[in-house]
Amino acid sequence: MATVAKTEGIKAFSATHDWESADYEPTLPVSEMSNPLTRNIDRAPASSIVKMLQACDAQMFQEKSGAAYERLLSDQVAKSLMEVAKRVQLILKNPQDSLIVLSGCGTSGRLAFFITSGFNRELRRLNHSAVCSYIIAGGDRALFSSQEAPEDDPISGALSLKKVSEGKKRVLFIGISCGLSAPFVAGQLDFCLQHPDVYTPVLVGFNPAHQARNEPIPGCTFTFHSVVTKMRELAKMQKAFLINPVLGPEAISGSSRMKGGSATKILLEVVFSAAHAANFSRTPITYNGILQHMRSYGKVLDITYSQTEGIAAVMEAAGRSLQCGRRLCYLSWGFLGLLGLIDASECKPTFGADHKDIQGFVGGGCKELGNKEGDLNLMGAESGIAHIDFLHNVLPCLTDKDTVLLLYSHSDDVDEVAKLARRVREKTSNMHAVYHQTDGDTAAQQGEINKLCSSTLNFIWPQATPASMGLQHMWELSTKLVLNAVSTGAHILKGKVYQNYMIDLQVTNSKLYCRAARLLQRLSGHPKSLCEEALLKAIYQVDKLTEDIMTCNLTTHTHTARKVKKVVPLALVCLLTGYSIKEAQSHLEQKPIVREAVEACLREQTLFSGSL
Ligand code: F1P
């Protein structure tokens, strides 16, 4: 056994470098590549899935290995972070007529909200005015539910930035797009470049600049790539900043919510903490300080993944629930809860999940989270995010087949946690917990909660944390890693991943459409034109494409795709078998596990071509 593990470790180590070579998937940006470490993640047991995710996350902190890319701990990245932190500090010092805006789409927008809220809360605690604002493509409803289409709208990006910064004389704009790809963010950066007297643009993403998306954006004269090129020029004079370390491919190809999201959180927290310390405790912003702070996040990975077996147990429970059509609920308090909401909302575009498959609930819901648009009842009563919604809509029908995961820390009202845990336990024994505490601090009720739960991931953090890094930030990253692992793993176990590709992704914006077309090419071996044809047939549910469909634009395609389930599997089955859409649909109904359906088709295809 030991020898096998050792050789696997060696293989895994050498594989980490494959993706950096020039001939590895040369047409893809790093954020879309498939990670050699996870090629067999779809057949791995839960504990191996966790280990693979750990190895992928560890790639974030690998030092530059002579390759062409900047890394998280690279010299240039630390220097840019210092400069941006100094700009933030200037605004803190002189907040009048100034603003910092964080913006992004999907997970990146949700993290913009998360980081903005945390920073403003801290400022208000010190009686300082809140200087930070967030923008998310699609508005506040996109904070808690998947809204992918607004990502394609550069005009609405620019207009929302204009609106939020009306009347300001100095704006530090931080646009986040993990893949350097979202037109919404490109529109905002372009707007900043046109008004350099007011706006200083900063771009956070995780591809080298030359890999920024270069597809034309309908109605615009710029592409993401052209905007980045201009910013690079301005960066030489420190009039714009690019923070774009490479993290290695995601564990599930293109799933930027994972490493992309974690690194966004790390980088921006480092910037804001350094600026905060400089302004309020006169701690100078230094290169070493920045680097040390970044490294301390690496320790969060170690502490979190030291509980591999515990994470795997929750993943297995969640996987069993999803496999039999039941659900996973995150119940939480305060801002750890927002991470639960974020994690849950991402499963729809990534795995074609129903919004009820994984749902997050936070104490008082929107009231507690303080989003701009206040209480959002836009998605109907059944989608409420407060505990009261859970008690009314979910608790009555919970059974042992559902999984409930409590997320709390010793600074939450643990009495409340125990109260809710007792009520959940009356309905299901399948309750687990993630609990953060500092060394030496224990909550009296924790013993009781532990007994009510079938498993507890108890993270004990050292009291003496690096000065610059709040404990809260550690708990948050650790919780994010656990939730990403649980929800990704549960969907893998449900058969929603083939090799390391999301085969049931939603095709609801241009990036996802291109990803889907690429995946069809890769799996079927057919040329691009044929794959796009099959994709459109699946979207419009027709066996023959009409003139009308062919002349529709991409926005109409992605809009129509919202209403259809299993678009990509459907297109793939048609491509591989020559079935009609109806036949392919019935084939997929007979084999509801998408991975198995896809594998069966691929097997038949190989047998068929072998017999020729
Ligand atoms: C933004 C994003 C992702 C989401 C999905 C679609 O990506 O909305 O957050 O998970 O993949 O794209 P990016 O602009 O940060 O690359």
| Among 157, 94, 107, 100, CA closest to 134 | 100
Asked if residue 542 lies in contact with residue 549, where contact means CB atoms within 8 angstroms, the answer is yes
ipTM of the complex as predicted: 0.95
**Probe ligand 1: pick from 247, 505, 511, max atoms within 8 Å of CB?**
511
Q: Does the Cβ of 340 fall within 6 Å of ligand 1?
A: no
C-alpha 384/C-alpha 341 separation (Å) is 11
The tens digit of pLDDT for each residue in 567-601 reads: 999 999 999 999 999 999 999 999 888 888 888 88
The tens digit of pLDDT for each residue in 140-182 reads: 999 988 888 899 999 999 999 999 999 999 999 999 999 999 9
Compute φ and ψ for 194, nearest 5 degrees.
Answer: -80, -15
Q: Is 156 left (phi over 0), alpha (psi -120 to 50) or beta?
A: alpha
Tokens (6 digits) for 279: 């302004």
Determine the Cα angle at 597 with ends 19 and 404, to 5°: 80
Residue 431 Cα to ligand 1 middle (Å): 31
Q: Does the Cβ of 182 fall within 6 Å of ligand 1?
A: yes
Q: How far apart are the two ends of the chain, measured CA to CA in Å?
A: 42
Residue 509 Cα to ligand 1 middle (Å): 10
**pTM for this predicted structure:** 0.94
Which ranges of the chain have pLDDT less than 70?
1-17, 64-67, 377-382, 464-469, 607-612
Asked if residue 117 lies in contact with residue 272, where contact means CB atoms within 8 angstroms, the answer is no
Q: Does the Cβ of 152 fall within 6 Å of ligand 1?
A: no
Residue 106 Cα to ligand 1 middle (Å): 5
Residue 104 Cα to ligand 1 middle (Å): 8
Cβ partners under 8 Å of residue 66, min gap 6: none
Residue 378 Cα to ligand 1 middle (Å): 22
Tokens (6 digits) for 97: 């007529």
Residue 142 Cα to ligand 1 middle (Å): 12
| Among 206, 166, 198, CA closest to 182 | 206
List the beta bridge partners of residue 403: 328
Tokens (6 digits) for 45: 């047991």
Q: Does the Cβ of 147 fall within 6 Å of ligand 1?
A: no
C-alpha 64/C-alpha 141 separation (Å) is 39
C-alpha 494/C-alpha 320 separation (Å) is 8
C-alpha 388/C-alpha 408 separation (Å) is 17
Cβ partners under 8 Å of residue 503, min gap 6: 496, 497, 519, 523, 568, 569, 572, 594, 595, 598
Q: Give the Cβ contact number of residue 310 at 10 Å.
A: 18
CA 323 to chain centre: 23
Residue 505 Cα to ligand 1 middle (Å): 12
CA 168 to chain centre: 31
**Probe ligand 1: pick from 151, 350, 491, max atoms within 8 Å of CB?**
151
pLDDT at 242: 98
Q: Give the Cβ contact number of residue 30 at 10 Å.
A: 21
Residue 151 CA: which ligand 1 atom is closest? 8
pLDDT at 524: 93
Q: Does the Cβ of 244 fall within 6 Å of ligand 1?
A: no
Residue type, 420: L
Q: Does the Cβ of 110 fall within 6 Å of ligand 1?
A: no
Residue 254 CA: which ligand 1 atom is closest? 11
pLDDT at 18: 86
C-alpha 231/C-alpha 242 separation (Å) is 7
